[in-house]
Amino acid sequence: MSKVNIGLRGWRFDEDVLGPDGRVRLLKTMEPDTRQRLLVLADRVVDPCDACWLIHGDEDISQCNVAEVIYGEPMGEVVLCSAHEPDFLYWFREAGGDAYAGEADLQSAFHEWFAEGNRAPEGYEGLEHVEEDPTALPDAPDPDEAIPGLEEEVEAMDQDEIDALDIDLSDLDV
């Protein structure tokens, strides 16, 4: 089965997460880990790059680039723009960040390293991304359609089903 990115590069999902219409299939039919990743992704897909936010803060958030890639695990994920992805990769590969692989502390450890002024050396190679259709992902996704069908599906759930998801949905417009 093929893998697909949804909304951001990085986290890859089995293509059966999407129905034939290209919309996310029912959450209750998915494995809990997949469901959690999709819900976290829905929350983070329209966020600014974490590194840009550390530089500019909430006061000047308009200077931040939108996230293009996501690394880490849910609740410890890092979202980055293309300009700051090499900084994360350098930290992870060369500066000890790999010690946080699979850990919720990954986000705070990277934030601390970056906030201390650390960066990838000039010319550090990031990842070469190969995209079949580089125009498929808009520069700034519409929050209502960042993950097609997800919000409608959550809206259709009753409170017991939402509680069973065991994830904070307060940032979603449902």
Give residue 20's pLDDT.
82
What is d(CA 160, CA 28) in angstroms, rounded to the nearest whole number? Answer: 12
What is the distance in angstroms between the CA of the first residue and the CA of the last residue of the chain? 32
Per-residue pLDDT of the chain (174 residues; tens, 9 = 90+): 788 888 899 999 998 888 888 888 888 888 999 989 998 998 899 899 999 999 999 999 999 999 999 999 999 999 999 999 999 999 999 999 999 999 999 999 999 999 999 999 998 976 665 555 444 433 444 555 556 666 777 777 777 777 776 666 665 555
Q: How far lies 64's CA from each of 44, 140, 161, in Å? A: 14, 12, 36
Taking alpha carbons only, the member of 12, 87, 77 closest to residue 43 is: 77
3-state helix, strand, coil in the chain (%, to 5): 40, 10, 50
What is d(CA 164, CA 141) in angstroms, rounded to the nearest whole number? Answer: 28
What is d(CA 112, CA 157) in angstroms, rounded to the nearest whole number? Answer: 38
Q: Which two tokens stand for residue 121?
A: 């050396």
Is residue 8 within 8 Å of 147, Cβ to Cβ? no
What is d(CA 99, CA 134) in angstroms, rounded to the nearest whole number? Answer: 32
What is d(CA 76, CA 58) in angstroms, rounded to the nearest whole number? Answer: 20
What is d(CA 5, CA 45) in angstroms, rounded to the nearest whole number? Answer: 12
Give residue 25's pLDDT.
85
Q: Which amino acid is residue 71, in one-letter code?
A: Y
